[in-house]
Structure 1
Amino acid sequence: MSQIPTLDIRRFDSDRDAFVADLGAAYREWGFAGIRGHGIAQPLIDEAYDVFQRFFALPEETKRRYHVPGGGGARGYTPFGVETAKGAAHFDLKEFWHIGRELPADSKYREVMPPNVWPEEVPDFRAKGLALYRALDALGARVLQALALHIGLPQDYFADKTDAGNSILRPIHYPPITADEVPNVRAGAHEDINLITLLVGASAAGLEVRSHAGEWVPFTASEDTIVVNIGDMLQRLTNHVYPSTTHRVTNPQGDAARQPRYSTPFFLHPNPDFVIDVLPSCVTADNPSRYPEPITAQGYLEERLREIKLK
């Protein structure tokens, strides 16, 4: 079984053309790659995970005070048993929190990007969460630069289309599984909604990626690696040149199932009014346009949130 590649992003500065070719090839084949040499300090990651775990350890009634009814899970806390993968019969075995972009007071996006919610019980949650958010946002911008070059766009093509993007940092807690038989998996087979996802802390086993042949390929990254995958918005924009690959988080076996699992993906989104319209450079005789109708990023997001039962 072939392996999902892991690449050192420092080559983007030292060996740009070769790195862009290797990264583009990885995404065309898998829709996934590991990124190391990313420059995000391990203490920053560890401190963020510490505050996230302290929040999830709070009593259920305390956590539920930070649930925003009618908010579609956009900010604050989403309880266990709510999110359900598209088409799945059972909900995912997880609870999570959403940190969004901090907008200036005069931002035109305030109507669709609500303010953040912060738990009083964990005083450093805000500072540590936003620090990780900003670090992953910057890393995501570099990955998009390389992807843009690979499909013949200017390096900075995405810069003014994501600088106020509705991006989300999602600390997730998968509680211990106490029953011997459960119909659910920790996260059902799904594709992500956004442009790209950056997953920090994927060193615990469970993530599996479906290959072109239909095999489930485990992808457990080393501690210094951030897993980055293509989302549906970028798949649509590039006319499936970059595929949004189905993936899941399986339940561990034996004693490992009795342990909690934590992970923190960063979902990098375009600005809400960005129009997702197939790029002309991604349309060929062999790959005609699959999406004749454009859609705004916000319109697409709302459509998908309804499908996964967050709205």
Structure 2
Amino acid sequence: MKLVAVDYQAENAAQQFVESLRETGFGVLKNHPIKQALVSSIYSNWQKFFDSEAKHDFLFDKDKQDGYFPPDISEVAKGFKIKDIKEYFHYYPWGRCPAELKQEISTYYDEAMSLAAELLGWVESYSPENISKHYSQSLSSMIDGSDLTLLRVLHYPPLQGDEEAGAIRAAAHEDINLLTILPAANEPGLQVKGKDGNWLDVPCDFGNLIVNIGDMLQEASGHYFPSTTHQVINPEGQDQTKSRISLPLFLHPKPEVKLSERYTADSYLKERLKELGVL
């Protein structure tokens, strides 16, 4: 298995992108419309936030799931018992956000959402008829007006050497949502598990946009589109002293959207959050 960046501006970009999703669970785009300068500025400004004590003023709300999640509250991946080595902030347009960071992150959210709707349209256009007939509504309309689509600002701190044995930055997991939209992080480490069971480094050239399938799209497509296992491994050598910032946008349908005969988006999300221990 090999992941190749698809040129967003190519005539056959949609087809190539969806084929990559189908084969690997991941798609990588280059020459896309999200500006690198905006992403770079967000990484820099949020690094300052995570380095400050002000982050504790935004401690997460258990009911709303917005705000700052410290390392001791960090997720435990499904099937694991050890917490990931990370802290993060959940941004929603309706939620709390440091005033000095609000405008920039809001701009990114809007731009990423616009592109996300287009990419869902690509997925639907290249879904075989026997698959797409089971979609309860168009994929892009599932997120239209949803206030659950989450922008997570992730900070993987430098390793101190006293981490719990076996802990890594993000243990092997699958995402919950329809698609995840992710600009390449400021440091490498993201890997996807291939069909042969081996781990493959995801191209992390700055400027690339990484997209992966979540469990909800897998459920809605009857497993035609696979929610692929991925992880963020620990750095080695001098890289252990470096932070890693990541900016995944998790596309969540409106709660009432019917994913399948078994689940609505709401019932699926609540089941998974309980498994992760954050609900």
Does TM-score exceed 0.5, indicating one fold?
Answer: yes
Q: How big is the shift at 1:298? A: 1.5
2:59 is equivalent to residue 78 of structure 1: no
Unpaired segments of 5 or more residues in structure 2?
none
Separation (CA, whole Å) in 2 of partners of 1:20 and 1:63: 40
1:189 Cα deviation from its structure 2 partner: 0.3
**Aligned counterpart in structure 1 of residue 39 of structure 2, from 45, 51, 63:** 45
Residues 272 and 297, structure 1, Cα contact 8 Å, conserved in 2: yes
Identity %: 34
Aligned position for 1:10 = 9
How far apart are 1:201 and its partner, in Å? 3.0
Q: Of the candidates 52, 56, 70, which is equivalent to residue 58 of structure 1?
A: 52
Equivalent residues of 1:34, 1:221 under 8 A apart: no
CA gap 1:224/1:71 in 2 versus in 1, 3 angstroms: same
1: CA distance, partners of 2:122 / 2:45: 32
In 1, Cα distance between equivalents of 2:182 and 2:20? 17
Matched, 1:273 2:256: yes
Q: Does 1:133 align with 2:113?
A: no
Q: CA 1:23–1:175 in 2, change beyond 3 Å: closer, same or farther?
A: same
Aligned to 1:117: 96
SS at match of 1:51: helix
In structure 1, the partner of 2:153 is: 171
Partner of 1:19: 13
1:295 correspondence with 2:263: yes
Aligned amino acid, residue 80 of structure 1:
P
For residue 229 of structure 1, the aligned residue among 212, 229, 248 is: 212
Structure with higher RCO (Cα < 8 A, 6+ apart): 2
Contact 2:158/2:241, CA 8 A, preserved across alignment: yes
CA contact (8 A) 2:159 2:241 kept: yes
Name the larger-Rg structure.
1
* Letter aligned with residue 134 of structure 1: D
Q: Is the 8 A contact 2:186 2:244 kept in 1?
A: no
Partner of 2:273: 305
Is the 8 Å Cα contact of residues 90 and 184 (structure 1) preserved in structure 2?
yes
Cα distance in 2 between the residues matched to 1:303 and 1:5: 34
Q: Which runs of 5+ in 1 are unaligned?
A: 103-114, 278-292
Q: Contact conserved, 1:81 with 1:93, CA < 8 A, in 2?
A: no
How well do the aligned residues superpose, as a CA RMSD in angstroms? Answer: 1.8
Q: Write the distance in 2 (CA, Å) between the matches of 1:92 and 1:306.
A: 17
Q: How far does the alpha carbon of each residue in 1:14-33 deviate from its partner, in whole angstroms, 9 at most, with x for none?
A: x2xx3333222211110001
Instruction: Find the residue that maps to 1:45 and give its secondary structure.
Output: helix
Paired residues, what number?
270
Distance 1:159 1:208, change over 3 A: closer
Matched residue of 1:81: which SS?
A: helix
Which of the numbers 238, 262, 271 marks the counterpart of 2:245? 262
